[in-house]
Amino acid sequence: MGSVLRRAFDRSVHVAAQAVYLLPNARPKRHGVRVVRNVPYRPTGRADHMLDVYLPDEADAPSDGLRPVVMYVHGGAFCMLSKDTHQVMAMPFAKRGHVVFNINYRLGPVHKYPDPLEDAAAALLWVMDNARRYGGDPERIVLAGESAGANLITALTYLSTHTTDEPFGRVLRARAPKIRATIPIYGLLDLVDMKRMTERDRVPAWAKTELLSAAAAYVGRPVAEGALRHPLASPLRLFEADAPPDASSLPPFFIACGTADLLLDDSRRLKAAIEKRGGKVEMHVFPGEVHGFNAMVWRPAAKAKWRALFQFLEDLPRLQ
């Protein structure tokens, strides 16, 4: 998909999402949720630096007044979509009692690494500082995201638990975020070795093109060289490396992917890497499901994924 077609596709998805979210059954109020839209987390005035807050019904507030928090980072091949297309991902968490911060971030190919990750780190710091204003507990933050967003939250988890050279990484590490869990769903997690997918037999040419375009939107071309210059763009490889002495505080991970998704191997490798470090991981693989399946919330596989995820969240006190 060329840049013109990609922009047209992005616009069409936004228009379709807006239309769907206007339907009576999709309105947050109907589900006991209130949304505070377009809250800036960086003082730039840019839409890229705004988030939406999803607030559950106050009548169901816990006795201490503070709810667990989810910071959601949308997917879209590092170059498309936004918080406005991802109400479908934020609402299920809010309906189950989480305060959800659904963020925008700068997109490629105009804004390549480190801009998207730097924005996500800034958003996490903002959530830590402001969660209480919205009834959220800054000591119980879940990071969630799919596809490109899964890459960013996996990198945020690494930054929060390891010492790195990136200035924004040092700031985040110094603040020591209390990450309760990390939920990377069908993430593109290794941009160095794209050949593992693009050289497979029976992979359609359009799928190969889209995978390379997504990686290039984040690290530029040639993709492998750009990814090697920016190790945090491939957080899977960092977790697969030998663990340093300060890597013992990893949060539990919940991973999900379909068997028809070219990114399944990245999810499996991440599970193995976290377990090798002694971390806790729950992974669900859904036969025949494609990339993006869990957004189709009316389908059995998506329902099964969300049920498993909410059970995982309920079990967190036991896992931590």
Domain ranges (residues) in the chain: 3-311
Tokens of 19: 């239309």
Render each residue's pLDDT in the chain as its tens digit; 320 residues: 667 788 888 999 999 999 999 999 999 999 999 999 999 999 999 999 999 999 998 756 666 679 999 999 999 999 999 999 999 999 999 999 999 999 999 999 999 999 999 999 999 999 999 999 999 999 999 999 999 999 999 999 999 999 999 999 999 999 999 999 999 999 999 999 998 888 777 888 888 889 999 999 999 999 999 999 999 999 999 999 976 655 558 999 999 999 999 999 999 999 999 999 999 999 999 999 999 999 999 999 999 999 999 999 999 887 66
- Say which residues have a Cβ less than 8 Å from residue 40's Cβ, sequence separation at least 6: 49, 50
Angle (nearest 5°) at CA 153 between 149 and 154:
115
Provide the pLDDT for residue 198: 80
Alpha carbons 239 and 255: distance in angstroms, whole number: 15
CATH architecture of 3-311: 3-Layer(aba) Sandwich (3.40)
Let me know if 232 is exposed, middle or buried by CB neighbors in 10 A (0-12, 13-18, 19+). Answer: buried
Provide the pLDDT for residue 42: 98
Tokens of 28: 């947050």
If you count them, how many residues does the chain have?
320
Q: Residue 148 in 3-state DSSP?
A: helix
